[in-house]
């Protein structure tokens, strides 16, 4: 998974402008992030139409604030530069919940 360098929401537009992108907000100290991390390679493989980008919440705190991400782990999906969905809260997320979220994006898009 690609790691997002420190940037602003305006700069992020360049990262998400083409195709489908899934931002994964987490932090090294976050136990709920550590819980979902082992499942991420499998989720990435299952949803290969998305480019998954890891966002270190601490390194990108200003970006997290700009995007209203106040809980982690969180996911924000983009398609061609437009946000198409978000799973943003402070709850622990299971692999099934993340998959359900991504599946709902496909359903909503049709």
Mind listing the pLDDT tens digit for each residue in 32-88?
999 999 999 999 999 999 999 999 999 999 999 999 999 999 999 999 999 999 999
Predicted TM-score (pTM) of this structure? 0.93
d(CA 7, CA 64): 10
Q: Is 30 a catalytic residue?
A: yes
Q: Where are the domains of the chain?
A: 2-109
Q: Is 33 a catalytic residue?
A: yes
d(CA 1, CA 65): 22
CATH of 2-109, one of 3.40.30.10, 3.40.50.720, 3.30.750.24, 3.40.720.10: 3.40.30.10
Q: Please report the pLDDT score of residue 106 as a whole number.
A: 76
Pairing of strands 20-26, 74-79: antiparallel
- Give mean pLDDT, residues 79-107: 93
Which of 15, 27, 30, 98 is catalytic? The answer is 30
């Amino acid at each position: 998974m690609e790691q997002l360098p420190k940037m602003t929401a305006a700069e992020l537009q360049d990262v998400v402008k083409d195709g489908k992108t899934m931002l994964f907000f987490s932090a090294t100290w976050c136990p709920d992030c550590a819980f979902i991390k082992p499942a991420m390679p499998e989720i990435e493989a299952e949803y290969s139409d998305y480019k998954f980008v890891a966002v270190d919440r601490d390194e990108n705190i200003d970006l997290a604030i700009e995007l209203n991400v106040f809980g982690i782990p969180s996911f924000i999906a983009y398609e061609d530069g437009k946000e198409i969905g978000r799973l943003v809260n402070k709850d622990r997320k299971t692999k099934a919940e993340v998959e359900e979220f991504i599946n709902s994006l496909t359903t909503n898009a049709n």
